[in-house]
Amino acid sequence: MARRVSRRQWWRNYRRYLKSEAWQDRRKKLYRDRDGRCEDCGRELHGRYHAHHLSYANVGSEPLHELRLLCEDCHAKRHPRRRVRRPGKRGTLAAALGVLLLVSILVLIVA
């Protein structure tokens, strides 16, 4: 994926990539590679899994070691800034928007 793109264009490309067959293949490969278990908590995923990017440097041709196979809960923990509840803090509009963003990303990834 080209590097010199605007942030907005990058996200557009990224979302398109997440729908691509190439990405679906890579996710399946990752699932088999990690024996269908969440790498953070070890639970069996039974086909419902998230692929988390440790790095976005090679999106489009990322090696498997740049990805983590995670359950939904552990994936949410990997994105703490988008978390729903923060200890000691009331929900804010920003948090609500963050949740919306996270949910839309999850839908894209799981679908």
Least gap, CB of 38 to Zn ion (angstroms): 3
Candidates 30, 67, 69, 74: give the one binding Zn ion (CB under 5 A): 74
d(CA 23, CA 28): 9
Q: How far is the CB of 37 from Zn ion (least distance, A)?
A: 8
Nearer to Zn ion, 69 or 93 (CB): 69
Taking CA 105 as the corner, what is the angle to CA 19 and CA 37, rounded to the nearest 5 degrees?
A: 85
- The answer to whether residues 39 and 30 touch, using CB atoms and an 8 Å cutoff, is no
- Name, in order, each residue with C-beta under 8 angstroms of 43's C-beta and a sequence gap of 6 or more: 37, 71
- Report d(CA 45, CA 36) in Å as an integer: 6
Least CB distance to Zn ion at residue 39 (A): 8
Least distance (Å) between residue 51 CB and Zn ion: 8
- Which is nearest to 71 in space by CA: 108, 21, 15, 31? 31
Is residue 68 involved in binding Zn ion (CB under 5 A)?
no
Piece in contact with Zn ion (CB under 5 A), picked from 15-23, 28-36, 39-47, 57-65: 39-47
Which residues are near Zn ion by CB under 5 A? Answer: 38, 40-41, 52, 71, 74
